[in-house]
Structure formats: structure tokens, C-alpha cells
């Protein structure tokens, strides 16, 4: 008896259709080819910026859905890392594109804005909506302490070159720009090594601290997993193919977006600081935002924290130092010397986040506090 070949691709097509039709925002995917054409044909900067900005939102959401599906194969620890990594692909590509275009201020603003967005807006919304659905939620205290201290270290890593530029530059006999550049490159190497240590800590030596521990409201199945555990919809080949294709499209859209930002800022009246720190990260963090909030409403706070805080750590300890190293290799003198207000905003945000998460419990009022701080910083950047 002849057996028919398995039509695995049919299930992948159904899964892709479900992912695309599962969110009404994905209708903006229709804008993607228009945005790419606008950039290629060199339309007016306003059209190029807006069309490619709108394109990034559904692309980030689809990217988040695919990575979340892929994460189901490997558990909450590696799953959270995969989600944070591919969620940050948008920010990393945006920053490298801006770096190669010589827009150093945009690089610093977009990466800093990504950290602030994940720490305050994404985590705040996770606490808020998770608290509305589940009242009080808990997460691993030891893992949170390790993550919080790493974020504080990263903030200090940005503050030291900034302070050195302000305090040492004026009275130095050497070139102050070369001084700050040398400190930034040394700091970048140290932060990258710290990120490598963090990966070893998270994935090998202390994996249990980051495992998603079900809360008391979650039922446990006979196999030891949460009762609502899901199965991947996509095959591994389809997941990797989709991730590759989306990343390539995001890279092109990001190049057009950053190349039009400076002219769009002049014509719209919106400052580059506001566009880079607030507007671009909201588009880039769309997938982390949706994923963290959804899993928080399902009472999976360790996974939600892994996405929000893990993404912030990845940007602070990897993406920002990586931009410095890429600039070093390509002859672009990008430094970690931010403007004093940005350094202060980052330090206060990290401190507030550590205060809010110190008890390893969350509820909706803590979410309101984080969102309120993000709004205050956004107002300051709007009028900057």
C-alpha cells in the first residue's frame, strides 16, 4: 500500500495565515512594499519616513509571533532569549544603519529609547494588564536581583564616559574627543564580556532562576507543564525561513527610515531626540510589548520579565557596545558619551525599576508608576 507524502507545508501555510490574520494591525503589511518603493524611488522624506515607520510595526509583530512560536520548542529561558534577540533585531539594524549614515545622535537616542521603552513602557503595561487579570503576581526574586544589578552596571557604563567627557575634557592636555572615544571603546569591551557572562549564568549555571514558575492560580498538567501549554504551529524550517525574510525586509526599511529621519525632523518640527528616543523604539519594540503583555495576562510573569528585562539587558550590554565596536571597525567614532539628561533619565529609570521589582511581586498600580515615568520622560524629550 502506497503512503502519501506528508504535506507539512500545508500546516505551515495555515499557521502563517493565522499569524497574519490574527491581529488587525497586520493590515499595515500592505504598506510595506509602498514604503520600500518610496525609499528606492527617493520620494519626499516625510512620505519615506512615515511609510517605512508604519511598515516596521506589523513586521515587528509578525516577527514576535514567529519567535514566540519558535520559543515553544525550547522552554521559557531560551524562549525568552530568542524572543528578546529577534525582537531587538529591529533596533540593532536601525542603529547600525544610522551609524553607517553618520547619525551618531540617532544611534544613541534609538538604543537608549529602546532600553527606556522596555523597562518602563513594556514592563509597566505587563504589570498593569497582568494585575488587572490576576490581581497580584509573583516572579523569581534572585533572577530579578541579578538582572537589576546588571542593568545598573550598564547604566554606570554609560555614565562614566559621559562624566569623563564633561569633567576631564575641558582641562585635558589631550584631545578630549579621543579621550572619551578611548574610554568608550574600553567600556564597550567590558560590557560585552559582562553580557557573555550573563548568558552563561542564564543558560548554564543558574538556569533554574529564570525558569517560568507557574503561579498558584495556574494548574499543572500530568506532564509537569502548565495546563495551557501550547504546541508550535510552524515547522522549524518555516520559522527560520520567516525570521530570515522578515529580518531582511526590516533591514531595508530601517535603512530608508534612518536616511530620511534628519530631513523629516526639519520639515515636521519634531526634534531628532524625540523621534529617535521615543517614536522609533515604540515601533521597534512592538513585538516585545505584545508578547510580554500577553504572557503576563496568562500569569506567566517570569517569562514576561524575561522578555522585558532580558531585552533591556541585551540592548544595554550588547547592542550599544556592539555599535561602538562596529563604529571602531568601520572608522565611525561613536562613543558612549550621551547628553547629561539622557544619562540621568536612564539612571533614574533603572533605579525606579529596581525599586518597583524589589519585592518580586507585581500589581496594576506598580505598572501605572512605570508608565507614568515613561510619559514624563517623553514630555521632556518632546520639548527638548
**Residue closest to 117 by CA, chosen among 306, 368, 288:** 288
Neighbouring C-beta atoms of residue 135, cutoff 10 Å: 10
Grid cell at residue 338: 550621551
Regions of the chain where pLDDT drops below 50: 1, 4-5, 172, 216-227
Provide the whole-model pTM: 0.76
Look at residue 5 in the predicted model and tell me its pLDDT: 43
- The β-bridge partners of 361 are 138
For residues 131 and 364, give the distance between their C-alpha atoms in angstroms, rounded to a whole number: 4
Look at residue 222 in the predicted model and tell me its pLDDT: 39
Look at residue 316 in the predicted model and tell me its pLDDT: 92
- The β-bridge partners of 138 are 361
> What DSSP letter does each residue of 364-375 carry, written as one string?
HHHHHHHHHHHH
**90 φ, ψ (degrees, to nearest 5):** -60, -50
**Residue closest to 132 by CA, chosen among 358, 304, 298:** 298
Look at residue 7 in the predicted model and tell me its pLDDT: 61
Q: What domains can be seen in the chain, in order of their start residue?
A: 10-213+228-383 (1.20.1420.30)
Amino acid at each position: 500500500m502506497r503512503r502519501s507524502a506528508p504535506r507539512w507545508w500545508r500546516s505551515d501555510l495555515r499557521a502563517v495565515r493565522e499569524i497574519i490574520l490574527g491581529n488587525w494591525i497586520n493590515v499595515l503589511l500592505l504598506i510595506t512594499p509602498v514604503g520600500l518603493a518610496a525609499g528606492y524611488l527617493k520620494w519626499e522624506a516625510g512620505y519615506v519616513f512615515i511609510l517605512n515607520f508604519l511598515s516596521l510595526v506589523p513586521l515587528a509583530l509578525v516577527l514576535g509571533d514567529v519567535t514566540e512560536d519558535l520559543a515553544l520548542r525550547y522552554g521559557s529561558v531560551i524562549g525568552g532569549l530568542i524572543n528578546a534577540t529577534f525582537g531587538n533585531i529591529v533596533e540593532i539594524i536601525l542603529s547600525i544603519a544610522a551609524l553607517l549614515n553618520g547619525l551618531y545622535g540617532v544611534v544613541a537616542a534609538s538604543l537608549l529609547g529602546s532600553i527606556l521603552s522596555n523597562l518602563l513602557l513594556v514592563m509597566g503595561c505587563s504589570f498593569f494588564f497582568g494585575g488587572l487579570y490576576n490581581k497580584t503576581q509573583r516572579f523569581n526574586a534572585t533572577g530579578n536581583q541579578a538582572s537589576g544589578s546588571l542593568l545598573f552596571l550598564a547604566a554606570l557604563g554609560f555614565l562614566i564616559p559621559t562624566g569623563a567627557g564633561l569633567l576631564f575634557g575641558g582641562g585635558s592636555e589631550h584631545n578630549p574627543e579621543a579621550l572619551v572615544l578611548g574610554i568608550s571603546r574600553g567600556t564597550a569591551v567590558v560590557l560585552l564580556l559582562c553580557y557573555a557572562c550573563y548568558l552563561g549564568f542564564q543558560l548554564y549555571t543558574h538556569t533554574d532562576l529564570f525558569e517560568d514558575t507557574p503561579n498558584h492560580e495556574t494548574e499543572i498538567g500530568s506532564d509537569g507543564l502548565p495546563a495551557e501549554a501550547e504546541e508550535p504551529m510552524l515547522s522549524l524550517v518555516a520559522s527560520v525561513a520567516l525570521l530570515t525574510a522578515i529580518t531582511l525586509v526590516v533591514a531595508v526599511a530601517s535603512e530608508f527610515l534612518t536616511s530620511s529621519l534628519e530631513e523629516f525632523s526639519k520639515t515636521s518640527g519634531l526634534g531628532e531626540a524625540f523621534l529617535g528616543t521615543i517614536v522609533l523604539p515604540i515601533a521597534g519594540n512592538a513585538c516585545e510589548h505584545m508578547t510580554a503583555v500577553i504572557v503576563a495576562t496568562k500569569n506567566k510573569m517570569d517569562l514576561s520579565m524575561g522578555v522585558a528585562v532580558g531585552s533591556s539587558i541585551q540592548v544595554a550590554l550588547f547592542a550599544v557596545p556592539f555599535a561602538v565596536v562596529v563604529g571602531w571597525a568601520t572608522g565611525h567614532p561613536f562613543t558612549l558619551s550621551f547628553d547629561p539628561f539622557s544619562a540621568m533619565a536612564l539612571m533614574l529609570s533603572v533605579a525606579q525599576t529596581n525599586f518597583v521589582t524589589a519585592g518580586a511581586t507585581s500589581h496594576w498600580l506598580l505598572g501605572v508608576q512605570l508608565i507614568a515615568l515613561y510619559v514624563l520622560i517623553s514630555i521632556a524629550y518632546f520639548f527638548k
